[in-house]
Structure 1
Amino acid sequence: MATLFTRIIDGELPGRFVWADDVCVVLLTIEPITNGHAMVVPRTEVTQWLDASDELMARLVSVARRVGTAQLEEFGGERAGLLVEGYGVPHLHVHVWPTSSPADFDVHRVQRDLPAAVLDEHAARLRDRLASQGHALEVAEALELS
């Protein structure tokens, strides 16, 4: 059975995509730690990061770096957080979000029940920032997926 993320990537379920390429997609989480919190998800179902190839992990981290840079410029913060947890969905995903303190790494302190309009705005801002940084092609592909 397809994972939740595969179903989102395949268009069966809605998602707020901000990036798409032939290896991975980036979408906003519905329960962000901070504004702009996104997940880098490989198109191929891989249960956990230890099962991923070196090349796949390198690509996911490379995309996370681009997204983290855009997040800091768009939403502020001192650093970009990076987390590979993977307990919620058995499909490898790399969390990336803007941070200003170690408290921003508390994965249990998320924003719940944010209005869809707020999440849509965050996605639009992040897409615009990524496009302005030279990633318009990946953003355009992401828009085709949503």
Structure 2
Amino acid sequence: MDDKCIFCRIADAKLPAHKLIEDDLVLAFLDLHPIREGHALIIPKQHYPWFEDLPDLTAARMMAVGQQLARAMKREWGVERVSFFYTGIHVPHTHAHVVPMSHRHDVTSARYLEDGFEEFSLPPSPGGAALTHTAGRIRARLAEAC
């Protein structure tokens, strides 16, 4: 636990939260600044700064809890989709967002909205050669990890 980390303090019950699901590995609770009603966060109870730091078992548990929440959200809000994504923008403690999507752009980056809110603009493709090069760079780094 990191006493300075807000999510560690929530996991340790030193700060209040609107808890939804809790077990030995993870805690799911409502986001205080939701994109949409029902927007929840899932955190590991142990402090891991980034999602790639998570032990496999904890990562799998976070995904399973996300699926449970998504099913409940679909029933409650009658939405077709529920988004699940990791971020680390504001708090360096791994956390996943689970958001019932009332609008197709609820979790869309501004980069995709250059033609306005009712449109969806794909960023330009770098092209086949650039994608091949990028894939090769990533595969080389993956091979280093073995």
Contact 1:33 1:107 in 2 (8 A): no
Match of residue 65 from structure 1: 67
Contact 1:76 1:98 in 2 (8 A): no
Query: When the two structures are superposed, what TM-score results if normalisation uses the length of structure 1?
Result: 0.69
Contact 2:35 2:106 in 1 (8 A): yes
Match of residue 22 from structure 2: 20
- Structure showing the higher helix proportion among its residues: 1
Q: Which runs of 5+ in 2 are unaligned?
A: 111-146
Equivalent residue in structure 2 for 1:104, among 103, 106, 109? 106
| Number of aligned positions between the proteins | 108
Secondary structure of the residue that 1:105 maps to in structure 2? coil
Residue 22 (structure 1) shift: 0.9
Match of residue 118 from structure 1: none
Query: When the two structures are superposed, what TM-score results if normalisation uses the length of structure 2?
Result: 0.69
Letter of the 2:22 counterpart:
A
Letter of the 1:62 counterpart:
A
Residue 8 (structure 1) shift: 1.3
Secondary structure of the residue that 2:106 maps to in structure 1? helix
Q: 1:66 to 1:19 in 2, by over 3 A?
A: same
Identity %: 32
Equivalent residue in structure 2 for 1:38, among 34, 40, 43? 40
Q: CA RMSD, aligned part only? A: 1.6
Considering Cα pairs closer than 8 Å and 6+ residues apart, tell me whether 1 or 2 has the greater RCO: 1
**Rg larger in structure:** 2
Residue 107 (structure 1) shift: 7.1
Match of residue 82 from structure 1: 84
